Amino acid sequence: MSKKEKIKKLLNIYQVMGFVFLLISIVLIAIPVSPYIWYRLKPSAVENDEKKIITEVVIPEEEIEEKKPEPEDKIPPLNPNLPEGYFVLIPKIGVNSPIGDTKDYRKALLKGTWIVSDYGTPEKDTLPIILAAHRFGYTSWTTEFRNRISFYNLPKTEKGDKVNIYWNRREYKYEIYSGEESTYISDYTADLILYTCKYFNSPVRIFRYANRVN
C-alpha cells in the first residue's frame, strides 16, 4: 500500500470516528432537553403527566394502618425567622419548593409541590405525608426555576439524604431511608413519601421514602 493510500485510509477512519463522536454528543445533549422539546410540540403532554402524578399511586386510606401521633414534646419550636406557608427543601439537589395544600393539584403543581389530600401533614402525622411534583414541568419554566421547585433531580437522592419541611413556621426534619422505581407506593410505614414521574410518557414513577429524625 502506497503512502498516499495509507493517508487516505487514515483520513477515512478519522472521518468515521468524528461522525460517531458527533452523533454521541448530539444524543447526550438531546437526552436532557428532549422532554422540553416534546412539551413544546405537544402541550397536552403536561396535562397527561399531571393525571399520572395523581392517579393509581395510593391505596384506599382506610386500608392503611394509622400510626400513633407524635407526643407534644416532639413538635418543633415556632421559628419566626422561617417563611410563612409550606415548603419542602432537599439540600442535596437544591430543591426549595412551595407546597400547595389544596385539592386543586394543577394549581399546586404549577407553582411547585402538591401534598396529596386526605393523607398526613407534619402536624397530623398518623398517616404518611405524600408529596408529588412534576419532573420536567412546563415550557414556561426556566432551568433554574425547574431545578428549584420540581423533583427533576429526585433520582440523584440517596439513603441518608435530608429532607426538611417548613410548616407553619416550624421545621420538620426527615431522612431518606430507601427508594424505588414503581407504579405504586409500596411502603406506607414511611413518615414522608416523595415521588415524581420517571419519564414524560411513562407510568413508572420515582419514589423516595423518609422518616422523621427530630
| pLDDT tens digits for range 147-179 | 999 999 999 999 999 999 999 999 999 999 999
pLDDT tens-digit readout, 107-146 = 899 899 999 988 999 999 899 999 999 988 877 888 899 9
The Cα 200–Cα 137 span in angstroms is 9
* pLDDT, position 27: 47
* Domain annotation for the chain: domains and CATH numbers: 42-212 (2.40.260.10)
pLDDT band of residue 187 (cuts 50, 70, 90) is: very high
Q: Which of 191, 63, 64 minimizes the C-alpha distance to 124? A: 191
Residue 199: is it exposed, middle or buried by C-beta count within 10 angstroms (0-12/13-18/19+)? middle
Percent of residues in the chain assigned helix, strand, coil, to nearest 5:
35, 25, 40
* 67-78 mean pLDDT: 76
Please tell me the pTM assigned to this model.
0.76
Looking at residue 64, its pLDDT comes to 74
